[in-house]
Amino acid sequence: NAGVTQTPKFQVLKTGQSMTLQCAQDMNHEYMSWYRQDPGMGLRLIHYSVGAGITDQGEVPNGYNVSRSTTEDFPLRLLSAAPSQTSVYFCASSYMSSGNTIYFGEGSWLTVV
Amino acid sequence: GQQLNQSPQSMFIQEGEDVSMNCTSSSIFNTWLWYKQDPGEGPVLLIALYKAGELTSNGRLTAQFGTTRKDSFLNISASIPSDVGIYFCAGPGGADGLTFGKGTHLIIQP
């Protein structure tokens, strides 16, 4: 009953450091995505993937990289963390894209100081 | 891309009251989704709507797909403390995935 699993739950970074947020799903979903949630901004799409080996940019991709080497995993990399990347990050997955119900992980709280 | 306007931004209600919130889009949607986010958790799907005019219930929650296909409504009857949270509407996004409204914060006063 794992669903979408994100790690870590909480992380504090210094400006300029890099890190990877991990995301794994065990539902054999083709579609995976990363959102960030900021006060008053709702959920904004960072990157998404419609299948292994395929990724694309969302609404706010700058400063982030993704890869999709397997169906199960979709890590999000912060290349050089900035305070503006302080946010809550959610990984999500679904069987197909656009309009189908998607399932969210529990979130990763990231603070960049 | 599509924009979703969700209102109200926040609601302060008494336990037992009914709640109504809505969402409008700048373009026609084929799907409307309503999510709830509890504090410290990820959003969880409440109701999915796939047809104009559709009315769907999930316990005390009722959602409707507006006939213009540019709006949707979520009603909660007889609110209880566990209804506290942020409610998001969502629909198909321009960059694939979903576009979300900015959320309605529901706060229940004792």
User: Per the CB < 8 Å rule, is B93 touching A45?
Assistant: yes
Higher pLDDT, A99 or B62: B62
Chain-centroid distance of CA A39 in Å reads 17
pLDDT tens digit sequence for B75-85: 999 999 999 99
Worst-scoring range by mean pLDDT, A54-68, A88-102, B47-61?
A88-102
Q: How far apart are CA A101 and CA A92, in angstroms?
A: 10
- State residue B39's pLDDT score: 87
Q: How far is CA A101 from CA A62, A67, A73, B77, B109, in A?
A: 26, 22, 19, 24, 32
How would you classify the pairing of strands A108-112 and A10-13? parallel
Tell whether the model's pLDDT for residue A104 goes beyond 80. yes
pLDDT tens digit sequence for B11-53: 999 999 999 999 999 888 888 999 999 988 899 999 999 888 8
Quote the tokens at residue A12.
């504090």
The DSSP symbol for B83 reads G
How many inter-chain contacts (A to B, CB under 8 Å) are there? 68
Cα torsion B88, B7, A83, A6 to 10°: value is -10
B28 touches chain A (CB under 8 A): no
User: Per the CB < 8 Å rule, is A107 touching B40?
Assistant: yes
Quote the tokens at residue B93.
């996004």
B95 touches chain A (CB under 8 A): yes
User: Per the CB < 8 Å rule, is B96 touching A48?
Assistant: yes
A102 touches chain B (CB under 8 A): yes
Contact B49, B63 (CB under 8 A): yes
Evaluate the omega torsion of the peptide bond into residue A8 and state whether it is cis, within 30 degrees of 0: yes
Tell whether the model's pLDDT for residue B95 goes beyond 90. no
Q: Where does B1-110 show beta strands of DSSP type E?
A: 4-7, 10-14, 19-25, 32-37, 44-49, 55-58, 61-65, 71-76, 85-92, 98-100, 104-109
**Residues above pLDDT 70, as percent of chain A:** 94
Q: Which of A59, A92, A100 sits opposite B95 (nearest CB)?
A: A59
B101 touches chain A (CB under 8 A): yes
- What mean pLDDT, rounded, does chain A reach? 92
Number of residues that make up chain B = 110
Given pLDDT bands bounded at 50, 70 and 90, which one contains residue A1? low
Higher pLDDT, B42 or A40: B42
* Other C-beta atoms lying within 10 Å of the C-beta of residue A53: 11
Q: How far is CA A24 from CA A7, A21, B37, B73, B96, in A?
A: 9, 10, 20, 33, 20
- Which chain A residue is nearest to residue B46, measuring alpha carbons? A101
User: Per the CB < 8 Å rule, is B42 touching A102?
Assistant: no
A105 touches chain B (CB under 8 A): yes
The DSSP symbol for B41 reads S
- State residue A91's pLDDT score: 96
Given pLDDT bands bounded at 50, 70 and 90, which one contains residue A34? very high
User: Per the CB < 8 Å rule, is B96 touching A42?
Assistant: no
User: Per the CB < 8 Å rule, is A98 touching B92?
Assistant: yes
- Nearest-CA neighbor of A74 among A5, A13, A24, A16? A24
* Other C-beta atoms lying within 10 Å of the C-beta of residue B103: 25
Contacts of A107 in chain B (CB under 8 A): 40-42
